[in-house]
Structure 1
Amino acid sequence: MTHSVEIFLAAHHAMASGLHMIPRSANDKEYFPQDWFAERVTALGLPLSPQGRNSYPDFWVGDDARSPVEGYEIKSLAFNHGRPARKDYDSNSTIPSGRKDCKDVFLVFFLYTGIGASPRPVHSLCIAHGDVINADHLVAAAHVNEAIKGFGSYGEGFIRDRKMYVFPHPFAVYPAGIGRCSLILPSDRGVSDSRLVPVGVLERTVATEALEGYQVHLDGKTKATKRTTKRADAGQRRRFDIFEAR
């Protein structure tokens, strides 16, 4: 059982009905897609628990007593001049993946038009299981932000090692979804619903090596060095079913 189907259908209906995202201000770059998503979930009567800033995911949906709890991370990019503003997106301080605290996590990704404080029409929308972006659950769970002390002339400073992770967004992985509303789920879940139309299968091949660590030098001259190891699951293919609303 997953809430993602009901949420996807509600989002598709809102998108098709021309319900735009409304910025809180002309400088709002974060909250308008979250607000739009929250309105869809609330209208469905599903329990919704927002998390704080820099937390992953942005929302937990469901409750343990009545329904499964799933995470939803909300991201968006402008769609200008016939293409997304970027091919990737930023994940601040947290490694994204399809599992968190033994619960599934979905990425809700918007492409929008409009600028400033004006309404933002939803150009494209994809709700994808987080494993489409990254399936290294254990590495994501082990993420830490550290402070390295002893920096500066008098050793009184420290370096705040708060990392920014950059991953390709769903429309870079599945460009045929641009201009559409898509739901991408792991094939092994066997999701079937008469309200959904299967439109394709997405395959992702596991990389040969895993990045174990890296070293950054502070002299401004020496390039960073990295340490890798052979992946036990190298070359495996992960399959995802792609759906649209009927």
Structure 2
Amino acid sequence: MSHSIEIFLAAHRAMIAGIHMTPRSANDKEYFPQDWFADRVDGLGLPLMPQGRNSYPDFWVGDDAHAPVEGYEIKSLAFNHGRPARKDYDSNSTIPSGRKDGRDVFLVFFLYTGSGASPRPVQSLCIAHGDLINADHAVAAAHVNEAIRGFGSYGEGFIRDRKMYVFPHPLTVYPAGIGRCSLILPADWDVSDPRLARVGSLERVVADESLQGYRIHLDGKTPADKQTMRRSDAGQQRRFHIYESC
């Protein structure tokens, strides 16, 4: 049904075997978790298709001829002083969600220790269906970056409206997963696999209103204006099951 189970089990094996993430340089802030993930997928013999920077998701896995194609977005944060560096994560220029082009997308989220060019041990790992973070698929697909022209004294400049979206990461939604290796899937998938143990459930409640738009003022003083609308699915619950390796 999904490659996520095999990938999760391979990732768990690597984590408990002490296979660390290796930065490409002391300044590497994003590639080492992607490389670690790619090694796990390669080891399973699954087709792996990386995308370019600022594309969502980072990888497509599978092929239409033999297996379903799924997306995997890779994010990581340092784990210092007994807690993650942040409670949220940045999504640059794209809105994360659990579907893209009609395909399921998963968020692979790491907490790591270490710094610089030294290997980074995996402190926590969570593979979660993207709907845990955001289930507004249509809004995510409709995202655009704009160029607003006519700016400056002579009207020759433009404002590059390239957005940064910030969402809570999976281990903020499921803090009991810190220090563990977890797989979070929609409850209606009804996963049954003898290699997995269901250890809990999560419920996410749909917000009362959706943000339809906003207006930014350039005087440096006036707060942004937001336009919202009552959601037709307000208050609905989305349920997810949490699994660990047996």
Find the aligned partners of 1:221 and 1:79 in 2 and give their Cα distance.
37
Report what 2:231 is aligned to: 231
Report what 2:120 is aligned to: 120
For 1:32-47, list aligned pairs within 5 A: 32-47=32-47
The CA RMSD over aligned residues, in Å, is: 0.3
Amino acid at match of 1:131: D
Find the aligned partners of 2:46 and 2:128 in 1 and give their Cα distance.
19
* CA deviation vs aligned residue, 1:96-122 (integer Å, no higher than 9, x gap): 000000000000000000000000000
Report what 1:130 is aligned to: 130
Report what 2:70 is aligned to: 70
Report what 1:167 is aligned to: 167
* CA deviation vs aligned residue, 1:4-53 (integer Å, no higher than 9, x gap): 00000000000000000000000000000000000000000000000000
* CA deviation vs aligned residue, 1:211-240 (integer Å, no higher than 9, x gap): 000000000010001000000000000000
1:59 aligns with 2:59: yes
Alpha-carbon shift at residue 191 of structure 1 (Å) = 1.1
Amino acid at match of 1:63: D
Find the aligned partners of 1:188 and 1:146 in 2 and give their Cα distance.
37
Amino acid at match of 2:119: P
Runs of 4+ in 1 over 3 A off after TM superposition: none
Alpha-carbon shift at residue 190 of structure 1 (Å) = 1.0
Give structure 1 stretches of 5+ with no counterpart: none
For 1:85-104, list aligned pairs within 5 A: 85-104=85-104
Find the aligned partners of 1:115 and 1:189 in 2 and give their Cα distance.
38
Amino acid at match of 1:210: S
Alpha-carbon shift at residue 77 of structure 1 (Å) = 0.1
Amino acid at match of 2:16: A
Percent identical pairs in the alignment equals: 81
Find the aligned partners of 1:82 and 1:225 in 2 and give their Cα distance.
38
Give structure 2 stretches of 5+ with no counterpart: none
Find the aligned partners of 1:46 and 1:64 in 2 and give their Cα distance.
12
Find the aligned partners of 2:148 and 2:42 in 1 and give their Cα distance.
43
* CA deviation vs aligned residue, 1:80-138 (integer Å, no higher than 9, x gap): 00000000000000000000000000000000000000000000000000000000000
Q: How many residues align?
A: 246
Find the aligned partners of 1:97 and 1:229 in 2 and give their Cα distance.
20
TM normalised by structure 1 equals 1.00
Find the aligned partners of 1:30 and 1:242 in 2 and give their Cα distance.
26
Amino acid at match of 1:119: P
Report what 1:143 is aligned to: 143
Find the aligned partners of 2:112 and 2:142 in 1 and give their Cα distance.
33
